Chain A
Amino acid sequence: MAESIEKLKMYFAFPFVRYAFIVGLLIALCSSLLGVTLVLKRFSFIGDGLSHVAFGAMSLATVLPVMAKEFFLGLAESGQLSRRAAEIVTKLGEMNNMVIVLPVTLIAAILLLRTGQNTKIKGDAAVAMISVGALAIGYLLMNRFPTRANISGDVCSTLFGSTSILTLKEEDVWLCIIMSVIVILLFLLFYNKIFAVTFDENFMRAAGAKADAYNLLIAVVTALIIVLAMNLVGSLLISALIIFPALSAMRMFKSFRSVIICSAVISVLCAAFGIILSVLSSTPVGSTIVAADLGVFLLFSLVSSVMQKRKV
């Protein structure tokens, strides 16, 4: 035990470990907030679909500089473009990945949540289609324009998060903090509206409130959360981060507010536990956190079923 604490102290002396910890907790908090709404609106898989879209966008963002380089250097060599101009264009291509990932995911979120109600392709089919489509395109792009020698390593870290959270730069941390604050503020400001639109859209419309606008808001916040959470657990495990805390909390609590608070607490605690454990025993961060979430869910299910039996 004392040895572990020493080890933790040593790790936490590094700023990047502290960054990872802060960012991890913030992401966990944000992702748990909308979980209840998404589960109740039968959109549990939207997280999955969107994260695959984000994966596709991320691949695009990764390979775009390579594609641009190949293209413009080719032009420069054949003399159609000055070398200087080619270099500038290449530099432009190396902007932060977020510039591409965020808008693409936002658009996908809006399309998915909008088509939820009445379209030819029903909600779950649309999600499945977009998610596997984006996954395939993403992998295809990464293979065709490899940025580094280790493609499967790159793909694996985008899918499962792996250690990328420990390699965050300071600007990434700030971006994460700003986005989390935006998500939390939006959620608090529109808490009552989100509740009403989750419980009964038609009633809201009948009473003259703008239900569609709030649905759109939910889509936007979901997309923000997913782009954020990709850093922590990778795109395959995001759904877990969104739905597990909500499902656990719904087992035990009976009012909307207590369910939200409980799922936020569960999510943050599991994230803290997962990150610390992964530092100590060098397991992958994302899967450790999700395993912790799963554990809590099983525990809560057990406790609630025992309690129910007692009541009867």
Chain B
Amino acid sequence: MSEQIRCSDVSLGYDGNVVTEKLNFTVNSGDYLCILGENGSGKSTLIKAILGLKPQMSGTLEWCGDVRSGEVGYLPQQTLVQRDFPASVREIVRSGCIAKCGLRPFCSRQEKKLAEDTMKQLGIEKLAGRCYRELSGGQQQRVLLARALCATRRILLLDEPVTALDPKAQLELYELIAKLNRDGITIIMVSHDINALKYATHVLHIGSHKQLFFGTRSAYAESSIGRELMRAERSEENG
């Protein structure tokens, strides 16, 4: 159990407008952190800060131990461009190795093998030659997950991975991610799906302009805000 990310008193925002202030949390290796929050609460800005795409306004976001900033396997939300992108599954998974290549123009044999092994691990080796845009939503997410795993085996950041998936595919993807976590990969998942909580070890809940909760999942379940959220969800299901 070593610390990988330490975030202290971080404020986030853009163009001088603060979106969230005073974020305090740590992520240890092997954790499964679920980041909850309504739309507009600064979830995606936080992701950008963690990925190093956009600096925080104040506070410190530190990378500890053997993880460098900019060494995160990222599973982004799908963009419009990708939806009609002509590319085979193998090409996309291999592109995960790109940062390892540096200035070398092509993938080494080792990296190609890594791509094949990762596809096997996620059960998509049969899709390798298929066209990405013709796959189902669940299959597409697996492909992007395989790509992220080619980039790093330490920490994965997933941005609302189950939106636009049908319930069965959602469950399968959650199980797959939980299995990766059991294998020792740190998971940070951003979601507004309460079902995601079931697998998490830690929860970070951000509201508008402030951090509402950070702690373990069991502590969250007993906190007032956690109970409130679960009650709301239950009544939605029943109603």
Contacts and interface: CB of A to CB of B under 8 A. Distances in A.
A256 B98 CA distance: 16
Interface stretch (A145-153, A194-202, A225-233): A194-202
A191 interface: yes
Interface in A1-57: 36, 40-42
Nearest to A197: B98
Nearest to A202: B76
Given A205-B51, A206-B51, A199 B87 contact: yes
Interface string A201-220: 01111111100000000000
Interface in B174-212: none
Contact of B82 (A36, A191, A200, A207): A200
A139 interface: no
Given A191-B105, A256-B86, A203 B147 contact: yes
Contact of B152 (A42, A199, A207): A207
Query: Which of A188, A190, A193, A199 lies at the interface centre, i.e. has the most chain B CB atoms within 10 A of its CB?
Result: A199
A41 B70 contact: no
Interface string A248-260: 0010011111010
Contacts of B157: 206
Given A193-B98, A207-B99, A253-B86, A202 B53 contact: yes
Contacts of B131: 254-255
A117 to B, nearest CB: 11
Interface residues of A, number: 30
A223 to B, nearest CB: 22
B151 interface: yes
Contact of B85 (A40, A207, A209): A40
Contact of A204 (B99, B107, B129): B99
B98 A40 contact: no
Nearest to A210: B99
Contacts of A207: 70-74, 96, 98-99, 151-152
Contacts, number: 97
B99 A200 contact: no
The secondary structure that dominates the A interface is helix
Nearest to B107: A192
Given A196-B98, A200-B79, A203-B74, A208 B68 contact: yes
Nearest to A214: B98
Nearest to B88: A255
A253 B76 CA distance: 26
Contacts of A198: 81, 85
Interface of B: 51-53, 68, 70-74, 76, 79, 81-82, 84-88, 91-92, 94-96, 98-99, 101, 105-107, 129-131, 134, 147-148, 151-152, 157
22 contacts: A36-B86, A40-B84, A191-B105, A193-B98, A195-B91, A195-B95, A196-B98, A200-B76, A200-B79, A200-B82, A203-B76, A203-B147, A205-B53, A205-B70, A206-B51, A207-B72, A207-B73, A209-B98, A254-B130, A255-B131, A256-B85, A256-B91
Interface of A: 36, 40-42, 188-193, 195-196, 198-200, 202-209, 250, 253-257, 259
